[in-house]
Chains A and B, each alone.
Chain A
Amino acid sequence: MSEPTLECRGLTKYFGTNPALHNLNISLPAGKIIGLLGPNGSGKTTLIKLACGLLTPSEGEVRVCGYAPGVESKALVSYLPERTYLPDWMTVMECIRYFQDFYADFDYERAVSMLQSLQVPANAVMKTLSKGTKEKVQLVLVMSRRARLYLLDEPIGGVDPAARDYILGTILKNYSEESTVLISTHLIADVEKVLDEFIFIQNGQLVSYASTDSLREDLGKSIDQYFREVFRC
């Protein structure tokens, strides 16, 4: 079998004395859309930040297509943070050029057509856009790359349901055989239909990693139902 797209071995991250992630071992294959699900503070964002090199592990290691976080891995990872990270003085078009300049796998045509479908004005300055529109721009940029691993942290939290459907449709349409999409979200019911697999984590530890189909076949449950059972308060 080929190299896993994302591999964590004994991955541990402490913030002070609190372990945000503790001895996480997981290996994600290529060609899947995977939900990263868990209650607040379970370590979802920490895992994503470690994978894209924004944090360094306290112990263990994380690899993307065999590469430790660095220039090579960053060229393969398309990351959507849960906040707006684009300079507010740039226009939407300038943001596109910026991505095009730095990422060899950026597809300009795709970005422009997605912006048109979402009716985002290409010449508007980021500062003048609403929060939801800014999130759309970021998602368009991130999904316009032909990356090997997409790390989407709460990609649909701030946009309206219609845009949500379009975005999920876009994710489904754009990802290819060799790329993996990891989506962290609370809105399980909304993303459930696109997920091939799901990961539950809690308190920085893996609770379960299974395929959506097997959950349906074996237990006759949806991820949403299963989530409510596992993480009952």
Chain B
Amino acid sequence: MLGKLIKHDFRSLSRVLLPTQLAILGATILATIGFAVNLKMDYSHVQINGVLSLIRVITGLLSGIMVVAIIAASILVAFIIFQRFYKNLISDEGYLTFTLPVTTTNILWSKLITAMIWTLISSAVIFVCLNIFVLFGTGNDGFVNLDAYRAIGEALNAVNTAIGARVIWPILEIILFILIAAANNILQIYLALIIGGVVSHKHKVLAGIGFYFAINFAVSMLMSIIQFLFSGSMLNSFNNLNGIQWENKNALEIYNHLFGAIQPYYWFYLGLILALTVGYFLLSRYLLKNKLNLE
């Protein structure tokens, strides 16, 4: 049943979100063409005639469109994900959603998973668009610009020779952190919307926004307290770095020292965010199961 929930939810999201991604892609192509034309125009003539200067202005503006499109689409993606959640669960459609023969746990999972998938899709689209722009829009002499990629390749090579394949670990840790932080953010907003729907009868969305800030405030208070309580013991791992003769160390040794020193922080903070995320999930499930009074 979870698969069916995800399928239908994904379809209902994609119907609205796919056009936004196509818009980013379209804006990117325009911006890329504009920038490429702008770069390759011959400015050596002393007098620039009217048409030429008009083309310059237009092509210059085109590249701005891409930035605007990316920002607007990112906001829209987030907005629509949460709007779908609200409509499906807390508005009249909730009568359908909550009488399906599925568990509340599965409903929440489906909402989390589809939101994560769409966050990943929109991030991937932005990544691809930036690459299109760099590759085809910024070539000075040729049609494509491979300089940037060459530079990145060389940097990666250097890292690889210095510290080897173990560089994968910090990368994996960053990816893991981003995924959990994304789930944490999504579930925090879901929870706020649910609380808004439970306590308010008239202004559910407004109440939800209020609760979002309230939860944020509570979490940052909690984080400050925890940081205060643990700061002494946490600092120890960095204290170990004192007295190391850095100038005598090679890249691998420096990497090992720093990576090792960061680990306690990383796992502690990750555990904390994970605990919050699980807490949001369980509280959301409890409220949806027992407290949601659809009008």
Residues of A within 8 A of B (CB): 15, 49, 52-56, 70-72, 74-75, 77, 79, 81, 83-87, 89, 98, 101-103
For chains A and B in complex, what number of residue pairs have CB atoms within 8 angstroms? 52
Structural contact, B12 and A53, CB atoms closer than 8 A? no
Contact across chains for A87 and B95 when beta carbons are under 8 A apart: no
Q: How far is the CA of A98 from the CA of B93 in the complex (A)?
A: 13
Q: Name A102's contact: one of B93, B95, B102, B289 (CB within 8 Å).
A: B102
B202 to chain A, nearest CB (A): 15
| Least distance between A147 CB and chain B CB atoms (Å) | 11
Task: Give Cα A83 to B94, complex, Å.
Answer: 11
In the assembled complex, the CB of A101 is this many whole angstroms from the nearest CB of chain B, namely 5
Interface residues of B in 4-33 (CB under 8 A from A): 4, 7-8, 12, 15
Contacts of B290 in A (CB 8 A): 56
Could you say which residues of chain B place their CB within 8 Å of the CB of A72? Answer: 101
How far is A52 from B96 in the complex, measured between Cα atoms in Å? 11
Cβ-defined contact, B8 with A101, below 8 A: yes
Count chain B residues whose beta carbon lies closer than 8 angstroms to a beta carbon of A. 22
Given contacts A54-B95, A81-B95, A87-B12, contact A103 B101 (CB under 8 A): yes
A89/B93 contact (C-beta < 8 A), A54-B99, A101-B8, A102-B102 known: no
Nearest CB in chain A: distance from B215 CB, A: 24
With both beta carbons as reference points, the residue of chain A lying nearest to B291 in the complex is identified as A56
Quote the shortest CB–CB distance from A61 to chain B (angstroms): 14
Evaluate contact between B12 and A89: CB separation under 8 angstroms.
yes
Q: Whole-angstrom distance between the alpha carbons of A101 and B5 in the complex?
A: 10
The answer for the CA separation of A2 and B98 in the assembled complex, in Å, is: 28
How many angstroms from the CA of A72 to the CA of B100 in the assembled complex? 10
Given A85-B95, A89-B12, residue A54 in contact with residue B294 (CB < 8 A): yes
B101–A74 CB distance below 8 A: yes
Contact residues, B88-128 vs A (CB, 8 A): 92-96, 98-103
Q: How far is the CA of A15 from the CA of B15 in the complex (A)?
A: 38
Cross-chain contact of B99 among A74, A84, A87 (Cβ < 8 A): A74
* 7 A-B residue pairings within 8 Å (CB atoms): A56-B290, A85-B93, A86-B96, A87-B93, A101-B7, A102-B100, A103-B101
Complexed CA–CA distance, A222 and B12 (Å): 48
